[in-house]
Amino acid sequence: MHKYIIGIDTGGTYTDAVLLDKETGKVLAKAKKPTTHYALARGTGEALAELLRISGANPAEIHSVCISSTLATNSVVENKGARVAVIVIGYVKHFKLPVTAVVFVKGGHNIHGEEEEPLDIEYLVSLVEGLKNEVDAYGVCSAMSMHNPAHELVTEKAIAMLDPKPVFSSHRISRLTGMQQRAATAGLHAKLMPVMDSFVRGVHEAMTGQHLTCPMVVIGGNGKPIAADRAIAEAALTVASGPACTAHFGAAQGVSECLVIDVGGTTTDIAMIANGRPLLAADGCQIGQWKTHIEAIDMHTAGIGGDSHVHIDEYSQLTIGPSRVTPLAMVGAEIPPPGSWLGAANRSRLIVLRPEAADGLAEGELTGLLREVGRLTPATIRERTGLGGIPLDVQLEQLTRRQQIFECGFTPTDALHVLGEIDLGDREAAMEGAEILGRTMHLSGREFAELVVSSTCELIENMIIDYVIQHYWQNSLAGFIATRKNHAVLGVDFSLKIPLVGIGAAARYFLPAVAERLKTTVAFPVDCEVGNAVGAAMIGLSGER
């Protein structure tokens, strides 16, 4: 009865689905649909419906649905996801993490599991009372909790009584020493639990809509399938889900040594293949600013992709990413022409209220303005309310996380439209945007588009170089690498002795130039445009076998 496995990859821009024959391991059908962040079930359902229609497969013939997702990775890279407070218990050197708050409480145990100091419950209660209106989840890390988790367990209970929100404690996932890494691991789980909960529910809803009753698994960052309920409870296990599938797909191409590069809409992911197999990170993975104890593929992710936000500051300096916006060419009639709002600095993006979200907006000056106007730039918000800088970014991030707004602006995808490389949307809007932004740098629209594509390739090149240096020498030279070509005295070029394997929808447009810069070659295997979905299905198939 069960002839097929479905692989799905939900990325920041597209949701891909493939149908794999269990007997032969061959891809029989594939589908690609836009990811609908505001209603994940819709985009996933459309991809599943298209896949079943093309293949003619009966839902009863599907053995399992294997999910790869970069949503968790993207939310970390873009600094989105839940607002988290990390509570650190014990006498330790204070440290910072990229969360809403890191607070330190007396308590903890020693290496023998004996209580070193009583848990300061009174102070803990006052902290939670002050934090509960500011955060969405909590991470808890106590000294030597791997030997005695009592203080973490008591803290979990105390938080549950005061503020019933998700809580994740470090003893549930990490048996290693290193308080900062353990705290980061707990905080990352807490940050991603709501993201993964929404994602899993969306996939379940989409499967129900297509009459699929088979099991669903999520591919973990270590390349192993995880049951859906565990993927929610221990969400950070999925943080490298996409790269794990990237690596698995790359390893199946028969190249014993290579770098697999997945260029998506939101991020670019790198994984190394050695002796024909993906490598695992020895001490836990690092995603953006997060150094963790989470077992995962040895990989590197950065916020650079086809839909990365192209921004020109007040000094005419160009930056690309790490945040994602909807490209001008792809947004359709929902926004006015770029000429009425697009520009440099605070006019480089348009914030658009989703019509279906208007009734759910909380009361406030910004939300009131959004209800009144519907579409406006940060510059207009500052002019009308005085709100700007970090306070505005925090409020916009919350509205984006709740899927109440989306942002659009010029992207590398738009630049490719201008140059005639792709024709997927409204080329006229992309050309108008390039002309407007080009004038701020005294360039024509085409020259500006060429600069954006070249700069995107350079960012990917630098990312690859830094990954290889970190892999072999455990040091990052990102600052030097990014500025090496402008150094007044020192000139440095790098070459790569192993080939690249490209996957992802945007890979063909950027990686040939990157390979040329690094004096190597790049290959694009069959089905590479849906490589992560194929990788997810292959992992599911190997687990079944």
Note the pLDDT of residue 80.
66
Note the pLDDT of residue 458.
95
pLDDT greater than 60 at residue 545: no
Mean pLDDT of 144-152: 92
Cα first-last separation, the chain: 16
Note the pLDDT of residue 39.
72
pLDDT greater than 90 at residue 510: yes
pLDDT greater than 90 at residue 259: yes
User: What is the number of other CB atoms lying within 10 angstroms of the CB of residue 392?
Assistant: 18
User: CA 459 to CA 455: how far, in whole Å?
Assistant: 6
Mean pLDDT of 486-511: 90
Mean pLDDT across the chain, nearest whole number?
88
pLDDT greater than 90 at residue 82: no
pLDDT greater than 90 at residue 402: no
Note the pLDDT of residue 542.
79
Note the pLDDT of residue 85.
93
Beta bridge partners of 137: 84
Note the pLDDT of residue 199.
84
4-76+196-254+526-544 is classed CATH 3.30.420.40: yes
What's the 3-state SS for 413-457? HHHHHHCCCCCCCCHHHHHHHHHHHHHHCCCCHHHHHHHHHHHHH
The pLDDT-based confidence of 292 (bands split at 50, 70, 90) is low
Note the pLDDT of residue 5.
95
Q: Is the pTM for the entire model greater than 0.85?
A: no
Mean pLDDT of 509-525: 96
Q: pLDDT tens-digit profile of 342-378?
A: 999 999 999 998 877 777 777 788 888 888 888 899 9
Distance set, CA 330 to CA 132, 407, 410 (Å): 39, 12, 10
Note the pLDDT of residue 293.
65
Q: Which residue has the higher pLDDT, 300 or 291?
A: 300
Q: Which of the 8 DSSP states describes residue 280?
A: B
Stated as kind and residue range, the H or E segment containing 470 is: helix 445-473
Mean pLDDT of 518-531: 94
Q: Is 129 exposed, middle or buried (0-12, 13-18, 19+ CB in 10 A)?
A: exposed
The pLDDT-based confidence of 219 (bands split at 50, 70, 90) is very high
Mean pLDDT of 278-285: 75
Q: pLDDT tens-digit profile of 122-134?
A: 999 999 999 988 8
Note the pLDDT of residue 290.
62
The pLDDT-based confidence of 285 (bands split at 50, 70, 90) is low
Domain-wise residue ranges, the chain = 4-76+196-254+526-544, 84-165, 310-448
Q: pLDDT tens-digit profile of 154-213?
A: 999 999 999 988 898 988 876 666 788 888 888 888 888 877 888 888 889 989 999 999
User: What share of the chain has pLDDT > 70, as a percent?
Assistant: 94
Q: What tokens does 380 get?
A: 């207009």
Note the pLDDT of residue 242.
85
Q: Which residue has the higher pLDDT, 503 or 192?
A: 503
The pLDDT-based confidence of 1 (bands split at 50, 70, 90) is confident
Note the pLDDT of residue 18.
95
pLDDT greater than 70 at residue 86: yes
Helices (H) and strands (E) in the chain, counts: 16, 24
Note the pLDDT of residue 174.
65
HSE-up of residue 25 (Cα within 13 Å, Cβ side):
12
Distance set, CA 481 to CA 110, 312, 468, 512, 540 (Å): 42, 22, 12, 20, 38
Closest to 345 in 3D by CA, of 436, 479, 445, 266: 436
Note the pLDDT of residue 73.
67
Q: What tokens does 170 get?
A: 């470090």
Helix 427-440 and helix 445-473, axial crossing angle in degrees, nearest 10: 80
Q: Are 71 and 80 in contact (CB under 8 A)?
A: no
Note the pLDDT of residue 359.
73
Mean pLDDT of 481-487: 81
Q: Which of the 8 DSSP states describes residue 281?
A: P
Q: pLDDT tens-digit profile of 19-74?
A: 999 999 899 999 998 887 667 778 888 999 999 999 999 999 999 999 988 766 67
User: Which residues contact residue 417 at a Cβ distance below 8 angstroms, ignoring those fewer than 6 apart?
Assistant: 327, 329, 423, 424, 425, 426, 427, 430, 431
Q: pLDDT tens-digit profile of 389-399?
A: 778 887 887 78
Radius of gyration over every alpha carbon of the chain, rounded to an integer in angstroms: 23
Q: Are 109 and 147 in contact (CB under 8 A)?
A: yes
User: CA 218 to CA 477: how far, in whole Å?
Assistant: 34
